[in-house]
Chain A
Amino acid sequence: MITIALSKGRLAQKALDLLEAAGYDVSAGREESRKLILEDEKSGLRFIMAKPSDVPTYVEYGAADIGVVGKDTLLEEGRNLYEVIDLGFGACRMCVCGPVSLKDKLDQIPNKRVASKYPNITRAYFEGTKKESVEIIKLNGSVELAPLIGLSEVIVDIVESGRTLKENGLDVLEVVADISARVVVNRVSMKMKESEIVPMLDALRKQVAILNAKKEEEK
């Protein structure tokens, strides 16, 4: 039995589509119910529907063998996992954003206050990459508000289309990381259930390659 932790919502559906295309029976995972554990004895798959930020935790502790989760969550949670496939979907960027007037002037502000839902990513970027100490303000949503109302100078957040930013007079100042959905595997499961997990990963990789080829064609 392989236990797969999925991030509740759109990402879960896409992950199930991919597994199905790879030849797995995922009907258990599609069951419309409030059940949190969806198990199918026959296909040997068990799905757990978890909050995205909890998926890396389930997988690190071995409660789930495999997880599908956004790179943003992986960066923020910093768990000790195998991160084996970039699924390509859910693509977006983690960025430092602020008022358009700050473009190319970010480094000139001393003692910055940075608001973010992702305090760990923010700390790693400013302290690790930029070698700069900043004051991090943890928020839980509508982070764009912070620079508008003077709570912080800039924010670190996920940018998809950039529309929310534009409508509020903000812009991307620096890109922290490219984000997309990833497949993660518990380090012990990879060894103990190798005969089941490795073929599954190979099949998934093949499907991802097909999807990517399609995307190229459409372009």
Chain B
Amino acid sequence: MGNYRFHTPDGVIDILPQECSVKRKLETDLRELFSEHGYSEVETPGIEYYDVYASGDFVATEDMYKMTDKDGRIIAMRYDGTIPVARLAATLLKDEKPPLRLSYIENMFRFKESGGGKLREFSQGGVELLGLDNAEADAEVIALGITAALKTGLTDLQISIGQVEFFRGLVEEWGLSAEDAAELSTAIDQKDIVRIEKTAGRLGLSDDAKELLDMISNRFGTYDVLDAFDQKVKNETSKAALSNLRAILDALSDYELLQYVSIDLGMLRSLDYYTGMIFKGFTYEVGFPILGGGRYNKVVSTFGRELSAVGFCLGINLCLTALRRQDKLPEFVKVDAIVGYAEGEGMRKAAFATANALRETGLKVIVDTQGLSEEALDAYAEEHGIDQVVFVDEEEDTEEEDT
């Protein structure tokens, strides 16, 4: 029998003071940022009925942490932020007039992912913009996503933007079955040229179509890419997708964020979930995207309300990992100052007042609890790396010195 009392379960970790302080600061900054942009924070429960995630086929059964309640109903731990917010928008907030701007910062639990900086319990901050189905809203969410990632202190940032409707238009134009479309989209998403060519051959696609598939896998850029594709495609759905992307780029240009962005029409993950623009954000030193989002207009309707939706979430733990590996974590100071006091009436009271005055200026201050003499206090400060020592005694009210 194992004895696990000294250990944390697989995929979950203790976060120590330095990283914890950075993480809390980051969460506070994000909260402020979301709020400044008119997104109201909500808190959904840490556990949901399994049906919330399962009914829309949003999440694979084996990826959820599950348990049963006393009536035998299946409960799932919070898997993501979007689906509970969609449930909320369709139920408790059903009478709120759209658009709704909601945000969350929560811990998520996913059973499968582990290792390489990906944890089974991790924090995400994200927003949902509900009830606005246009490029302006798409761009607002992407811009806020980029701003949020930059706010963490990361500077090397790459954002890839795709549009799943572009591929859907091709599927219609070429008359592909759902199965063939899935096969092709998986191959494209993995840039698996061999499989793309094989599938294209099997489906008897035209040379024009094959050239288009090659472009999807290899062409990245901004307006130039959109122009190139615009000349190639004929169907309305794909053309509309391109003009949606063009409008998004125009808006991002006005947000002055265009330099972070590149178009990648080969991003075709979760086609059942996304219904329009999709995007991902990358930085150095972590092998996974730190940022992801897109438009998913059918999610809220699973809960009985027709409401379009676009949103993103930022992986807070992944950002921390990137900051650590890029040597960008700020220096951590546990305590800035220690206040000691001499024996005598009123001394302790004066020390408490002194400490509070220092805290008012933003310092982290402790008061000596061991009755240390002035010399002993200096030694203590030296040993614990405390910069500032204040000793309150009878002659003067306070006496400051730096060690």
Contacts and interface: CB of A to CB of B under 8 A. Distances in A.
Interface in A152-207: 182, 185-192, 194
Contacts, number: 54
Contacts of B56: none
B287 A186 contact: yes
A85 B195 CA distance: 10
B287 A192 contact: no
A134 interface: no
B155 to A, nearest CB: 12
B158 A192 contact: yes
Interface stretch (B37-45, B278-286, B332-340, B353-361): B278-286
Interface in A19-65: 60-63
A62 B287 contact: yes
B116 A86 contact: no
A188 B116 contact: no
A187 B289 CA distance: 8
Contacts of A126: none
B282 A82 contact: no
A113 B313 CA distance: 44
A102 interface: no
Given A60-B287, A186-B287, A187-B289, A194 B282 contact: no
- Per DSSP, chain A at the interface is mixed
B160 A191 contact: yes
Given A61-B115, A61-B116, A86 B194 contact: yes
Interface in B77-133: 115-117
A192 B116 CA distance: 18
B190 interface: yes
B115 A192 contact: no
How big is the A interface, by class?
20 to 34
A182 B262 CA distance: 27
Contacts of B289: 187-188
B191 A62 contact: no
A62 B286 contact: yes
A192 B283 contact: yes
B194 A188 contact: no
B192 interface: yes
B190 A83 contact: yes
A86 B282 contact: no
A84 interface: yes
Interface string B308-325: 000000000000000000
A84 B288 contact: no
Contacts of B115: 61
Interface in B347-401: none
Interface in A86-143: 86
A82 B188 CA distance: 9
A141 B115 CA distance: 28
Contacts of A189: 287
A189 B400 CA distance: 53
A81 interface: yes
B156 interface: yes
Contacts of A60: 116, 287
Contacts of A192: 156, 158, 282-284
B193 A85 contact: yes
B59 to A, nearest CB: 16
Contacts of A82: 190-192
B49 interface: no
B220 interface: yes
Nearest to B156: A192
Contacts of A187: 282, 287-289
A85 B158 CA distance: 24
Nearest to A184: B190
B158 A84 contact: no
Contacts of B191: 82-84, 185, 190
A88 to B, nearest CB: 10
Contact of B287 (A61, A83, A84, A194): A61
Contacts of A190: 191
A154 B284 CA distance: 46
Nearest to A65: B287
Interface of B: 115-117, 156, 158, 160, 190-195, 220, 262, 282-289
7 contacts: A60-B116, A63-B287, A85-B193, A186-B287, A187-B282, A188-B286, A194-B220
Given A60-B287, A62-B287, A192-B284, 6 more contacts: A61-B117, A81-B190, A82-B192, A83-B195, A182-B194, A187-B289
